[in-house]
Amino acid sequence: MALRTIVTEGDECLRKQAKTVTNFDEKLWTLLDDMADTMYEANGVGLAAPQVSVLRQVVVIDVGDGLIELVNPEVIAQAGSVEDTEGCLSFPGQWGIVARPEKAAVKAQDRHGKEIVVEGEGLLARALCHEIDHLKGVVFKDLVIRMCTEEELNG
């Protein structure tokens, strides 16, 4: 396993549409393992493949309840709306208020191609939606209600 470089604001990979994964092989498994290692090393709760310059529909998330790997994910249900502070590993030191669903359900495939459904609320719902947005070339700053000030972050 290896750490990958997380691209930052201005990198064109963050604005491109990720492609569907069709091969569930060792190359995918290595990507998933590397992404998880990279996310943990960066103290993040989620990472999408475009953030490591790979234009594939692959996401890893861990909000403290264990690693979730999602291949070809899509949001199939959502409910409620919550405005909360959100940041992104590709936008270090930047935080903003973003409205996200309070609850979300996602259909995806696991690393072997088996269909799975992940349901989450609170931080997990936020992370699911945030990371899936990355696969569409959407970043949190596109949805931000307002950016947070240094005083708010450090106060």
Residues catalogued as catalytic: 131
Q: Cα separation of 137 and 55, whole Å?
A: 10
In our burial notation (b when 16+ CB lie closer than 10 A, e otherwise), range 30-44 reads ebbebbbbbbeeeeb
Task: Answer yes or no: is 134 a known binding residue.
Answer: yes
Q: Is 112 annotated as a binding residue?
A: no
d(CA 34, CA 104): 26
Contact 90, 14 (CB under 8 A): yes
Binding positions for Fe cation? 88, 130, 134
Binding positions? 88, 130, 134
